[in-house]
Amino acid sequence: KNEVEQSPQNLTAQEGEFITINCSYSVGISALHWLQQHPGGGIVSLFMLSSGKKKHGRLIATINIQEKHSSLHITASHPRDSAVYICAVGQGAQKLVFGQGTRLTINP
Amino acid sequence: KAGVTQTPRYLIKTRGQQVTLSCSPISGHRSVSWYQQTPGQGLQFLFEYFSETQRNKGNFPGRFSGRQFSNSRSEMNVSTLELGDSALYLCASSSLGETDTQYFGPGTRLTVL
């Protein structure tokens, strides 16, 4: 079993829909990162969380330390949100362990 | 501030050769991490440097090595290239390391023939 599991692996939705991507981890962590990767490879950091909830524009990230679970939400989704979303956890040793990614496609 | 830069962006090598990739972090960042991304294995951690010291290393063979210079620029080297080393190699810089926002470079796409 991978240390970091994401679901779903693929998600297709219509423009305007509310999107949720989940990340579960099995180890103790120092921080959890949500990353976005567009075709062509560029990776952008969306959030870094160690507790609670963060919001940036239409994106919201939450983490439940006790349940070892994090969610990334996108409100009013748009075709430009189409990308691969990756959850990564730091385990206190300057090493990030990554989930397998969720491929999101938003159709107009 | 300029972003993280990686050179070269694309590279084609043959089996048995060696390659050196370069990463220049955001000015002021002292942590540089390297990652390998392949379709089969996804993103995997290679190593992390902070102020010229390697603080951790991933589960890769000794053919993969790296270093960091006093100006925080980092290089990684792969010797005796194998076909399976074909991948996108990404570096990321941050001020502190894993508990800090990571800024990724555009990557170097290495193809081994």
Tens digit of each residue's pLDDT (9 = 90 or more) over B34-51 = 999 999 899 999 999 999
Q: Is B33 on the interface with A (CB under 8 A)?
A: yes
> Exposure pattern of A3-39 as b/e (b: 16+ CB <10 Å)?
ebbbeeeebebeeeeebebebbbeeebebbbbbbbee
Q: Over chain A, what is the mean pLDDT?
A: 94
Per-residue model confidence (pLDDT) at position A94? 79
pLDDT tens by residue, A55-67: 999 999 999 999 9
Query: Strand, helix or coil at B34?
Result: strand
For residue B44, the chain A residues in CB contact (below 8 A) are 98
Do residues B44 and B64 touch, judged by C-beta distance below 8 A? Answer: no
Put simply, whether B60 touches A (Cβ < 8 Å) is no
Identify the residue whose tokens are 């399976």: B84
- In chain B, % of residues over pLDDT 90: 89
Tell whether A84 is within 8 A of chain B (Cβ).
no
From chain A, the residues in CB contact with B49 under 8 A are: none
Q: Which of A43, A91, A97 to mutate against chain B (most B CBs within 10 Å)?
A: A43
A44 touches B at CB < 8 Å: yes
CA contacts within 13 A on the Cβ side of A13 = 23
The Cα A4–Cα A69 span in angstroms is: 10
Contact state of A90 with B104 under an 8 Å Cβ cutoff: no
Contact A89, A97 (CB under 8 A): yes
C-alpha B34/C-alpha A18 separation (Å) is: 34
Q: In angstroms, what CA-CA distances link A101 with A11, A33, B42, B77, B84? A: 11, 12, 8, 27, 21
Give the pair of three-digit tokens for residue B93: 């810089």
Distance, C-alpha B47 to centroid of its chain: 8
Q: Which two tokens stand for residue B100?
A: 């800090």
Q: Is B100 on the interface with A (CB under 8 A)?
A: yes
For chain B, the 3-state helix, strand and coil shares in percent, each to the nearest 5, are: 5, 55, 45
Asked if B103 reaches chain A (Cβ–Cβ under 8 Å), the answer is: yes
In this prediction, residue A1 carries a pLDDT of: 64
Chain B nearest-CA residue for A86: B43
Indicate whether B98 pLDDT > 90: no
Cross-chain Cβ contact B99/A30 below 8 Å = yes
Model confidence over A35-80: pLDDT tens digits? 999 987 789 999 999 999 999 999 999 999 999 999 999 999 999 9
